Chain A
Amino acid sequence: MEPAPDDPVFWREASRLYDLLVDLAPPEREAALLAATPDPALQQAVRRWLATGPSVRIPEICPLPPDGLELPGLLAPGTVIGAWRVTRLAGEGGMGLVYEAERADGSFERRVALKVMSGPANSRAILDRFLAERRILAGLEHPNIAQLLDAGLTAEGEPWFAMEYVDGAPIRDWCQRRRLDRRGIVRLFRQVTSAVAHAHRRLVIHRDLKPSNILIAADGTAKLLDFGIAELATAPGERRVAARMLTPAYASPEQREGGESTIASDVYSLGVVLHELLTGTRPEAARPPDPGPVGGDLAHILGRALEAEPARRYPSVEALDSDLSAWLDGLPVRARPDTWRYRTACFLRRHPVAVLASAAAVVALVTLTLVARAQATRARDEARRAEQVASFLVGLLELPYPFDSAETTVSMRAMLDAGRAQADSLIAAGNPPDPQILESLALGYSGLADFEQSAAVNRQALRLRQARGQSDSAQSISRLLIAAAEMLGGHEVQARATLLPAIEPVRRAYGPTSDRLAQFLVTLLNIERRLGNLARADSLGREALRIIAHNGNQARNALGHAHTQLGHVAMERGDWRTAEAEYRASLEARTGASRLEMGSSMANIALAVAEQGRHAEAARLLAEARGLKASLVDPGDPEMSDQLRQEARLAALTGDHRRASAMYRDALAHYAQRGSSPHWRTTPALVGLGQALVAAGDHAGAEPPLRAALDSVAQRIEGQSRLRAEARRALAEVLRRQRRTAAADSLERLAGEELALLRGY
């Protein structure tokens, strides 16, 4: 028999039909049932409900346990647990008993709530995880969170937690007693959202938000209890059981189905609590909240938080909070700054080879959700999860930028580091997260231009994929991500070694004319081009373009990259016209897709145009590129320093060498501010600076940057490099000024040979 849907709305309707039919004689029931609903599932459920003689019988009164009642240990006052002495039993919660306790050594006066979970932690892995994660929980310090002070295991192996003792009333009672109006309620509630958002930023999901977990102290301060405890108290394998412990009235639809608890489920539970505070009733699941008593924008806010589909809810508690704040201020809710939307769109289209991923905050949110998911039950299959992630990201596009602060980068890194630490502890506890989670973290590090971390985390993901015995083609995605990070980190030889073994499996798995293969070829092309192997780069580019064209030029991201790389190859050769054409083709492929990449293509065109002497046109293009980029990334983003370097090049070509050298210096200073920047960013700036200084007559000043650039190139380039030739030429001028004519001549000759080779490869 079909299992009846686990959906309160379905059953409420069935309940209504039951009442309608129960007093009819059985023969009349069927006709009335068919008339009442066309839904066969509903009909069947009501039929079974009305039928007599089920195979399961529930007694009239609950039988008492047949072999005695084992009283779970009630701790007597005076019992010492860890550093705490129990003073009294204070309450009873879903998972165990709560005692009031004080410091056992009397060293200072502190009342704590001591929670002892019923049921022992039953394996080493749970114990390890418990110990690892309590540190994260202990780090949750927020005025509206009852802080976890201490935790451990009793002699019987039962986890216990000592939390800040909160003397207060549950939020619902408080609001009723004070007769708070809507504004008062929303103001109070924002203390709660602020606390939940704080925890989410530290990768802690509450999972069991409900009015009885939110206490209001006498001074009106809200305190959230039991943060992350629901999560901690259960073993991964028992999560479905744990789902039953959740308070169903406040659980999200996906939690009630035994699914994963995420940021989105906390958003939902907050929505239920707010709905109840405002209207006195809980919302009907899967039905838009009754706008009657709430009305207007507040109803919209509730509707958004209570969407049945997680991806359609507010993607973060910050987003919910900012709408509540807007409502209080009488501002329109759901503001949509363009910047944010474009950043996100940008990120999406760059995936999976996120070169510049300035939409780092998105990655953070994804990471958060994914890490949370990793701890919950595993998603049913890869495809479904991929779909969830995609719809989650798409949902973000319509929301306000949640991290609009100067500290974005800092908090982003803290978040990624926290996510990584958590992933590490999961791995150490033998419960490794899904490799995709690590890959998301790696993308986040890429977004911060920390390619070393990115590559390291991606390698971890590859090891997980290998440990799980995933196919070569599944592993190849990891290899692509690692290679991209290594390449961007300036380790091109290593990147090639990583990527090459993936090419054949991809060719076999996806076919010789698949866009996926083209994507790999374009990345390989990028690596070979950077190594100076221009002939190989060129032929890889041609092959990629053939494949992409064969598939109707659908793979626009790869198409844009392929043309850009071929443009770079042409620039190396000094073939400015071809370069311009390739860059223009790249811009065309990217038009309407990624604005950041459009900006980058425009700047490329500008330089090809400038080399052909069309300086005014180049200046216009560079200005447009700057405008695009500046609207999308932070001023300190390396992307903006690249832009500055390109502007310096134009200044040099127009003969303004003083300005050019100042701009190159600025660009180098910006790179240095970011810590270590890869050579492919710094070397062109060093060469440009040296050239500009030589041209401006500062030969002594030019020597150090030129030598630094040549050292850097010497270590890396396998084939030819225009940059090396230019640096050698400039250095030859410096040497000539020092009257070291022989050395200068030899450098000059090497440069000429290299340029000839480049032209004619």
Chain B
Amino acid sequence: MAHPSASPSPAPGTITDLLLDWREGNAEAMGRLVPILYQAMRQLAGRHLGRERVDHTLTPTALVHEAWLRLVDQTRVAVTDRVHFMALVSRTMRHILVDHARRRLAQKRRAPADALPPPSEPGDAWSLDLIAINDALDRLQTIDERMYRVVECRFFGGLTEEETGQVLGVTWRTVHRDWLKAKRWLELVLEE
């Protein structure tokens, strides 16, 4: 069975309102913003990456920037909110990608036991790698929250060092060092 098609995009106004509310310190706005953003990002990603039309030139960076342009009413928000929005989108990207990887692997496992093992596809390796990175990232969070957030912004959102620095309130140099350090650490634990 195919799932029914997704609901229509939320109006840019909704996301903008919630973003503004959140920036003004309303924590509940964040709670409402995340699902709407998630839904919107899935549509955006699906539009570019759906089974029939894979855009191999696409990067998370492009998706995140497109989200900013499409989902937020530029006339009402300060430019400084852009990076915070993009950081949120980075996290959403992570969820969407990990979710996709998990489903993919679960469906592989669902194949009947007496059937031939399903052929290995490039997407399998991608899924396994992504889940391994995601798990290692969860571990990293318990070691150093800032390094973890740097990876989330840079790796899943394609934010630049400057943008990431603005999100976290540190200099791009710090982001640079953190990123190098975190990347090596992830490589280290993935080697095991």
Contacts and interface: CB of A to CB of B under 8 A. Distances in A.
Interface string A252-268: 00001000000000000
Contacts of A325: none
B103 A75 contact: no
B121 to A, nearest CB: 6
Contact of B1 (A74, A155, A176): A155
Interface stretch (B73-81, B122-130, B165-173): B122-130
B192 A62 contact: no
Contacts of B104: 70
B143 A61 contact: no
Interface stretch (A101-109, A118-126, A432-440, A748-756): A118-126
Given A22-B181, A54-B187, A67 B38 contact: no
B47 to A, nearest CB: 10
B35 interface: yes
Task: Classify chain B: how many residues form its interface, as a range.
Answer: 35 or more
Interface stretch (A33-41, A85-93, A599-607): A85-93
Contacts of B188: 4, 45, 48-49, 54
A15 interface: yes
Given A69-B100, A71-B6, A155-B1, A248 B142 contact: yes
Interface in B166-187: 177, 181, 183-187
Contacts of B183: 58
A19 to B, nearest CB: 8
A76 B50 contact: no
B106 A119 contact: yes
Interface of A is mostly: loop
Contacts of B34: 91-92
Contact of B103 (A74, A92, A119): A119
Contacts of A57: 187
Contacts of B36: 89
B126 A65 contact: yes
Given A54-B191, A173-B28, A248-B141, A76 B100 contact: no
Contacts of A58: 133, 155, 183, 186-187, 190
B91 to A, nearest CB: 10
B143 A11 contact: yes
B3 A73 contact: yes
A118 B56 CA distance: 26
Contact of B102 (A49, A79, A119): A119
Interface of B is mostly: helix
A75 B51 contact: no
A24 B38 CA distance: 44
Contacts, number: 182
B20 interface: no
A61 B60 contact: yes
Interface residues of A, number: 64
B41 to A, nearest CB: 10
A61 B154 contact: yes
A76 B7 contact: yes
Contacts of B177: 22
B42 interface: yes
B27 A173 contact: yes
A249 interface: yes
Nearest to B42: A71
B4 A76 contact: yes
A55 interface: yes
Contact of A249 (B107, B142, B156, B185): B142
B120 to A, nearest CB: 12
Given A91-B34, A177-B27, A249-B142, A69 B50 contact: yes
A406 interface: no
B95 interface: yes
A68 interface: yes
A90 B147 CA distance: 30
Contacts of B192: 1, 3-4
Contacts of A62: 60, 93, 97, 130, 133, 155-156
Contacts of A69: 45-46, 49-51, 96, 100
Contacts of A177: 27
A49 B185 contact: yes
Given A56-B190, A61-B61, A61-B154, A91 B31 contact: yes
A76 B49 contact: no
Nearest to A251: B142
A415 interface: no
Interface string A666-694: 00000000000000000000000000000
B107 A66 contact: no
B138 interface: yes
B143 A8 contact: yes
11 contacts: A4-B192, A18-B181, A57-B187, A58-B155, A67-B54, A71-B42, A71-B50, A88-B7, A157-B110, A249-B142, A285-B142
Given A49-B181, A60-B154, A76-B7, 6 more contacts: A4-B189, A62-B155, A65-B49, A68-B50, A72-B99, A98-B35
- The 10 lowest CB-CB distance pairs between A and B, nearest first, are A73-B3, A119-B106, A69-B49, A173-B27, A8-B142, A68-B51, A122-B110, A74-B6, A76-B4, A91-B35
Interface of B: 1-7, 27-28, 31, 34-36, 38-39, 42, 45-46, 49-52, 54, 56, 58-61, 93, 95-97, 99-104, 106-107, 109-110, 121-123, 126-127, 130-131, 133, 135, 138-139, 141-144, 147, 154-156, 158, 177, 181, 183-192
Interface of A: 1, 3-4, 6, 8, 11-12, 15, 18-19, 22, 45, 48-50, 54-58, 60-79, 88-92, 98, 118-120, 122, 155-157, 169-170, 173, 176-177, 244, 247-249, 256, 285
